[in-house]
């Protein structure tokens, strides 16, 4: 069991591991972690629903932006963390219709179990396009085209930091004999300490600092010879992320469509996530040599790219098809649902024109 595996690692590490290591093992320990063991995670029978699972409109609209970029840069598509494979199938089908269809649609996925599901799903949903899909097991060192990912960065390990009046601690995990327990230690590690001091929220304050996510984005940015990264996730810029009122951070767990804040509940059986600090993501990418192309809410991005035109392709008179689509669009766009909390950030190299997804409501200056 993953609990035993983590407890053993805590014992070997002198009684304490950082929360990032706990999260890494609980989610990705080979064959035991949440994403690497066999249960269904996504969709109505799983623990949470993502935008591509909710509606094909999401991927069809995103494909418009992907196609616009590919027509300038050429090259391939690379999707990170493809979940069930639904987005890959829908984006490929949309590009097959309106072009340009990339020669290769690469998927970088850490879970072998999900790779098997993705293969199966793609063969079922887009059999004529499945031969274009190939799986890779590490980030490429050179890439031209578009890199997309939806709700992947939020599932990557974070450090937990506690700011108190008398100093800054890192919150880690200990084993009390029969359960995990929080254990805080003074933060001395650099450059994390400098970063925590710079953020300087009013104590007492507990929050996360992303480590794996920005590093991965930096790696991808450096690999990008020409093209763009299009990243979709929930979160904010730094000022809002570390707002005085958000003093308990954004750590969140999902089990059977219930959200709660206890990462020690059923380790390996529930998802653990945190919101994205898009300023940190942008900084990591810019350090990797790419430029900011746009940053916007999911609602503005999808509307700018014509999600409503795509809906209009279905006649409202065909109520059985149209009404579910309209309800899905409402969930994708409504500020009370995914429309405002979810953001899209585009970072690229060698792209001179502005991207349609950010034609109105671009917030990149706020970063
Ligand atoms: C919350 S799911 C999202 C799945 C899908 N993108 C969607 O929107 O339905 C996170 C996905 O990211 C994958 N993942 C996690 N860490 C990864 C990494 N470092 N590189 C690539 N994929 C990763 C997980 O295995 C899983 O497929």
Question: Is 150 touching ligand 1 by the criterion CB < 6 Å?
Answer: yes
Q: How far is the CA of 126 from the centre of ligand 1 (A)?
A: 21
Ligand 1 center–CA 292 separation, angstroms: 23
Predicted TM-score (pTM) of this structure: 0.96
Burial class of residue 131 (count of CB atoms within 10 Å of its CB; 0-12, 13-18, 19+): exposed
> Which of 270, 250, 328, 231 lies closest to 48, judged by CA?
270
> Which residue owns the Cα nearest ligand 1 atom 13?
81
Instruction: Using most ligand atoms within 8 A of CB, pick from 28, 33, 110, 114 the residue to mutate for ligand 1.
Output: 110
Please identify which residue in the block is written with the tokens 């059985």. Answer: 320
Largest CA-CA distance found in the chain, in angstroms, rounded: 66
Per residue of the chain (367 residues), what is the pLDDT tens digit? Answer: 899 999 999 999 999 999 999 999 999 999 999 999 876 677 777 778 999 999 999 999 999 999 999 999 999 999 999 999 999 999 999 999 998 999 999 999 999 989 999 999 999 999 999 999 999 999 999 999 999 999 999 999 999 999 999 999 999 999 999 999 999 999 999 999 999 999 999 999 999 999 999 999 999 999 999 999 999 999 999 999 999 999 999 999 998 888 999 999 999 999 999 999 999 999 999 999 999 999 999 999 999 999 999 999 999 999 999 999 999 999 999 999 999 999 999 999 999 999 999 999 989 877 7
Ligand 1: residue whose CA is nearest its atom 23 = 81
CB distance 241 to 235 below 8 Å: yes
Q: Is the CB of 50 under 6 A from ligand 1?
A: yes
If you measure from the C-alpha of residue 188 to the centroid of ligand 1, how many angstroms do you get, rounded to a whole number? Answer: 31
Give strand ranges (E) for the chain. Answer: 17-18, 76-80, 105-108, 133-136, 143-150, 158-164, 167-175, 180-186, 205-210, 224-236, 252-255, 258-260, 271-273, 276-277, 291-297, 342-349
């Amino acid at each position: 069991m993953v609990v035993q595996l983590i407890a053993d690692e805590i014992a070997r590490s002198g009684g304490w591991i950082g929360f990032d290591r706990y999260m890494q093992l609980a989610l990705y320990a080979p064959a035991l972690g949440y994403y690497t063991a066999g249960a269904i995670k996504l969709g109505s029978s799983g623990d949470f629903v993502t935008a591509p699972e909710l509606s094909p409109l999401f991927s069809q609209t995103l494909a418009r932006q992907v196609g616009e970029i590919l027509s300038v840069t050429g090259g391939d598509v690379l999707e990170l963390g493809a979940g069930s494979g639904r987005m890959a199938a829908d984006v490929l089908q949309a590009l097959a219709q309106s072009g340009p269809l990339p020669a290769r649609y690469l998927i970088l996925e850490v879970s072998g179990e999900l790779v098997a599901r993705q293969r199966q799903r793609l063969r079922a949903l887009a059999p004529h396009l499945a031969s274009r899909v190939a799986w890779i097991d590490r980030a490429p060192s050179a890439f031209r085209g578009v890199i997309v990912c939806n709700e992947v960065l939020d599932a990557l390990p974070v450090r937990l930091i506690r700011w108190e009046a008398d100093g800054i601690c890192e919150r880690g995990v200990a084993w009390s004999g029969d359960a995990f327990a929080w254990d805080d230690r003074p933060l001395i590690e650099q450059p994390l300490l400098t970063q925590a001091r710079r953020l300087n929220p009013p104590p007492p304050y507990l929050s996360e600092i992303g480590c794996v996510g920005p590093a991965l984005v930096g790696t991808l940015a450096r690999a990008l010879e020409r093209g763009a990264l299009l990243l979709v996730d929930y979160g904010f810029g730094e000022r809002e992320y570390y707002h005085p009122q958000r003093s308990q951070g954004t750590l969140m767990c999902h089990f059977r469509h219930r959200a709660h804040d206890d990462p020690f509940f059923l380790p390996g059986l529930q998802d653990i996530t945190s919101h994205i600090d898009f300023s940190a993501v942008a900084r990591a990418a810019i350090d990797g040599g790419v430029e900011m192309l746009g940053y916007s809410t999911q609602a503005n991005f999808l509307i700018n790219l014509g999600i409503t035109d795509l809906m209009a392709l279905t006649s409202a008179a065909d109520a059985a098809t149209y009404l579910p689509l309209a309800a899905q669009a409402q969930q994708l766009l409504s500020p009370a649902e995914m429309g405002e909390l979810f953001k899209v950030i585009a970072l690229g190299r060698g792209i001179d024109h502005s991207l349609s997804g950010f034609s109105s409501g671009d917030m990149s200056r706020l970063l």
